[in-house]
């Protein structure tokens, strides 16, 4: 039974990934400062798998929590680093907080991992490092120009740090560049609790259920229906990619990889809205926000060929699967973990 350190374990992707890892026999040491994560999914997983399988520590990776946890748990073999602020729109408004938390927190974490001889890490990166697509589908050889958002710049800075440490043999990493994440656990018991949510699919589902109003926040782009086309990947498929990255690191004594995680297909905003309406059988009013996103790319679709070749990973869940799991999640948890 391998022991994995998971930062950001109480967040949306972190908690779904912990669920999958625990179901496959891993033991988890979780860290989260609970500023945007929730204790409830941790308690849910501890009840499901046992507190001996999931140990949890509240703390911030910009502080000394990582050192204290690593001191107590020399059995940790791999770290998954989710802990980060991730609202792209918010990163424009308070870039200094994103720099401190995302870049500073990662730097502190890497230093502690190295000093405690934990040399393997799966890093939660983002397709935002590519900036606007120069060609499609976007593969890992796509140019990394200066990312267009502060959040994207954070992720690029963290990847640069990982590369620098790997070049001196201090770390070995797999950096997973996510495209747009959606869905809940397959049984709908663990999902996104951000309130308000800034994700399209989540907001569309919440609107059909009468939980929140729906606003279009994109800038008009040059696509058939005028709305951005994005690659949406199911959160459980994403969690599976992390587990496969752990196995790759355990089975390889050297080498690091940067790998896209996306479905390889795309949907426009209005296509997503229609899928949600069809599955719920409900319509909902659509408003237009005055706070429109900046530097909107027309179309972003991943090549996931490298993920298939290196990790043996293939997405298996459809957009309809993702929407249906979120309908179940929000029906029982209309405000996420804030309420039942």
For the annotated catalytic residues, the residue numbers are 151
Vertex 278 angle, CA 274 and 283, to 5°: 75
Vertex 238 angle, CA 326 and 259, to 5°: 150
Which residue from 247, 103, 64, 253 is spatially nearest to 171, judged by alpha carbons? 253
Burial category of 216 from C-beta neighbours within 10 Å (exposed 0-12, middle 13-18, buried 19 and up): middle
Residues paired with 267 in a beta bridge? 230
Q: What is the DSSP letter of 131?
A: -
Under 8 Å between Cβ of 4 and 79: yes
Say how many C-beta atoms besides its own lie within 10 A of residue 168's C-beta. 8
Q: How far apart are alpha carbons 102 and 112 in whole angstroms? A: 16
Residues paired with 32 in a beta bridge? 58
First-last CA distance in the chain: 33
Residue 27 three-state SS: strand
Burial 124-162 (b: 16+ CB within 10 A, else e): bbbbbbbbeeeebbbebebeeeebbbbbbbbbbbbbebb
Cα 11–chain centre separation: 9
Residues paired with 138 in a beta bridge? 302
């Amino acid at each position: 039974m391998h022991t994995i350190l998971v930062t950001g374990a109480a967040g949306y992707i972190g908690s779904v990934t912990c669920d999958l890892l625990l179901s496959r026999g891993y033991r988890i040491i979780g860290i989260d400062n609970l500023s945007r994560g929730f204790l409830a999914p941790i308690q849910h997983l501890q009840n499901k798998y046992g507190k001996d399988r999931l140990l949890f520590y509240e703390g911030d990776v910009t502080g000394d929590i990582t050192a204290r946890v690593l001191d107590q748990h020399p059995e940790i073999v791999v770290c998954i680093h989710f802990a980060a602020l991730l609202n792209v729109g918010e990163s424009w408004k308070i870039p200094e907080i994103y720099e401190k938390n995302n870049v500073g927190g990662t730097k502190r974490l890497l230093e502690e991992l190295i000093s405690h001889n934990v040399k393997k890490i799966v890093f939660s990166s983002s397709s935002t490092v590519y900036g606007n697509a120069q060609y499609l589908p976007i593969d890992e050889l796509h140019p990394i120009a200066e990312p267009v958002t502060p959040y994207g710049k954070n992720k690029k800075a963290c990847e640069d740090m990982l590369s620098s440490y790997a070049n001196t043999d201090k770390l070995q990493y797999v950096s997973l560049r996510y495209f747009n994440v959606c869905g809940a656990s397959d049984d709908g018991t663990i999902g996104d609790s951000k309130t308000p949510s800034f994700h399209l699919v989540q907001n569309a589902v919440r609107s059909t259920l009468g939980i929140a109003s729906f606003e279009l926040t994109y800038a008009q782009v040059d696509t058939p229906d005028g709305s951005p086309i994005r690659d949406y990947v199911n959160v459980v498929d994403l969690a599976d990619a992390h587990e496969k990255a752990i196995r790759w690191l355990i089975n390889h004594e050297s080498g690091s990889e940067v790998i896209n995680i996306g479905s390889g297909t795309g949907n426009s905003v209005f296509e997503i809205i229609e899928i949600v309406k069809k599955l719920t059988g409900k319509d909902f009013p659509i408003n237009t926000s005055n706070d429109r996103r900046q530097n909107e790319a027309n179309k972003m679709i991943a090549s996931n060929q490298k993920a298939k070749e290196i990790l043996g990973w293939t997405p298996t869940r459809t957009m309809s699967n993702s929407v249906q799991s979120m309908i179940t999640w929000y029906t029982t948890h209309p405000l996420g973990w804030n309420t039942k």
